[in-house]
Each structure stands twice: as structure tokens, then as C-alpha cells.
């Protein structure tokens, strides 16, 4: 069974554009940015990521999904691809203007929540049985194996455990962790779905280093940092809200030592 999502993404693309055409006049005429973003998030994103809980997303599939979303986003903002290139407008700048939700991250969150929902079933239904089923007499083909639905959780958990330096003996399998909704979402679900920087999506750990007169926001996963000049802690919260990125504190991080 091939896990090629190209035909499904093609259908999702047509559905997203069809949904956008139905609300195009409204989103282009409204001057309320929050209302426009809410309309986009509540209509186009669900059409684009319908049944994403069952997808086995590869990197190329995530790129295709992001390309579709950016195309609809440009049309909503009235910016063509050619004008964006000529004016050298970054994708992150368009996202700052639109304030819409990231489709790839939305698909990941939907998949995480659906996995937890399935693993908490206790009535022996087929959904849970198929998820737990491991073929005994079937060998995977030669070459790079196809991406399985559960590979996303396995990889995400390994990255989190490695970042927190948790020994393998103390690590919990994702299927066991998924039965606890709070622990599952605390470990894998980011606090904000607006985490796109220069076209890069994903769960980004944010470390706030409090310096004298400056608040620097450092992204360990990216070779960049953003510095904001703020007078106090209340000011940084206001600036932080405008950025739509929320911190994900790393265990063991000594803020006082980094500040000095």
C-alpha cells in the first residue's frame, strides 16, 4: 500500500480554493485583520486539512501543503507571486499581515489529538485494534521504508526526549503517553499554532534571555534571533503578543545564569 498523498492534496487544493472563492468578496473587503484571519482559519484551513488526522505526512507533503496555503494567502492579501518577488516581500512578512494559522502545524496538532482520542478507547472498536496491530509475517520492502502513520509520533517523541536529555530507560512510548491527554499535549502540542518564521514551521523552543534594557528571543532550532527593546517585563508581554509566538520553556534552563 503506497502512502502517496499527492492525489489527496490535489483534492484538498481544489476544496481550499473553492472555499476561498465563496468568501473572497468578504475577506477582501473587510479591514478587520482579526475577522479576516478568523474567516480563513474557520473555513479554508479545515477544507485544506480535512482528514489530516489519518495522513502520513512526509517533508515533501508538508511543503506542498504550505505552498497551497501561501497561494491562497497571497490571493487574500492581493499580492501576486511576481509582485512578491519583485518587491522582495518575505513569506514571514505576509504571514505577519494575514495573522492566519499555519496549515502544516494545524495538521500535526489534529493528528496528535486524534491519536490520543483513539488510544483512550476502551470498547475494543476497530479503530483502536488497527492502530495497535503489528503484522507478524510481513517484512518491509528493501530500500527506505515507507512512512508509517505512527512514525510521526515516534520521531517527535525522540526529538523531545533528546532535547530534554531524558535517558532511554525513563522514556515512555507514545501509545502509552497518548492515554494521558494532558501529558501528551504538554509534550507535543505547541501553545500557539502561529510558529512560522521565514517559511519554516514546526515546534520551536523559545528561550527568553533577560538582559539589561533588552529582551532577546533565541530560537535554538534556527540560526536567527530576534531582539526587542523593552523597558519592563510588562512591555515584553505586549510585544510578545504581537508576535504570536509563545515560549516553550526547556527543563533545566537556568534563566538567571543566562541573564548574566
Phi, psi dihedrals of residue 83, rounded to the nearest 5°: -65, -35
What's the pTM value of the predicted model, to 2 decimals?
0.67
Question: Splitting the chain (260 residues) into consecutive groups of 10 residues, what average pLDDT does each group show?
Answer: 81 96 91 92 95 91 95 94 92 92 92 87 82 77 81 84 82 82 73 41 35 38 37 44 38 40
The three cell numbers locating residue 192? 500557539
**3-state secondary structure (DSSP) of residue 29:** helix
**Domain boundaries along the sequence of the chain:** 6-109, 207-259
**Angle (nearest 5°) at CA 135 between 104 and 171:** 60
Amino acid at each position: 500500500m503506497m502512502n502517496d498523498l499527492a492525489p489527496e492534496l490535489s483534492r484538498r487544493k481544489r476544496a481550499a480554493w473553492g472555499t476561498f472563492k465563496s468568501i473572497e468578496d468578504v475577506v477582501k473587503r473587510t479591514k478587520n485583520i482579526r475577522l479576516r484571519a478568523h474567516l480563513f482559519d474557520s473555513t479554508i484551513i479545515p477544507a485544506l486539512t480535512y482528514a489530516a488526522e489519518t495522513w502520513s505526512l512526509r517533508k515533501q507533503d508538508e511543503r506542498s501543503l504550505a505552498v497551497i496555503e501561501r497561494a491562497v494567502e497571497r490571493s487574500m492579501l492581493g499580492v501576486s507571486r511576481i509582485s512578491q518577488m519583485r518587491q522582495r516581500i518575505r513569506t514571514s512578512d505576509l504571514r505577519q499581515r494575514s495573522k492566519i494559522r499555519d496549515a502544516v502545524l494545524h495538521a500535526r496538532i489534529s493528528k496528535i489529538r486524534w491519536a490520543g482520542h483513539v488510544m483512550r478507547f476502551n470498547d475494543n472498536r476497530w479503530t483502536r485494534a488497527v492502530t495497535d496491530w503489528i503484522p507478524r509475517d510481513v517484512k518491509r520492502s528493501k530500500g527506505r521504508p515507507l512512512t508509517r502513520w505512527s512514525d510521526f509520533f515516534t520521531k517527535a517523541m525522540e526529538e523531545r526526549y533528546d532535547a530534554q536529555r531524558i535517558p532511554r530507560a525513563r522514556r515512555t512510548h507514545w501509545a502509552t503517553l497518548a492515554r494521558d491527554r494532558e501529558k501528551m499535549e504538554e509534550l507535543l502540542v505547541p501553545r500557539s499554532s502561529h510558529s512560522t518564521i521565514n517559511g519554516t514551521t514546526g515546534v520551536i523552543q523559545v528561550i527568553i534571555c533577560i538582559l539589561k534594557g533588552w529582551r532577546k528571543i533565541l530560537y535554538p532550532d534556527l540560526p536567527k534571533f530576534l531582539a526587542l527593546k523593552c523597558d519592563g517585563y510588562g512591555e515584553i508581554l505586549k510585544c510578545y503578543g504581537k508576535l504570536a509566538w509563545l515560549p516553550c520553556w526547556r527543563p533545566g534552563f537556568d534563566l538567571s545564569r543566562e541573564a548574566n
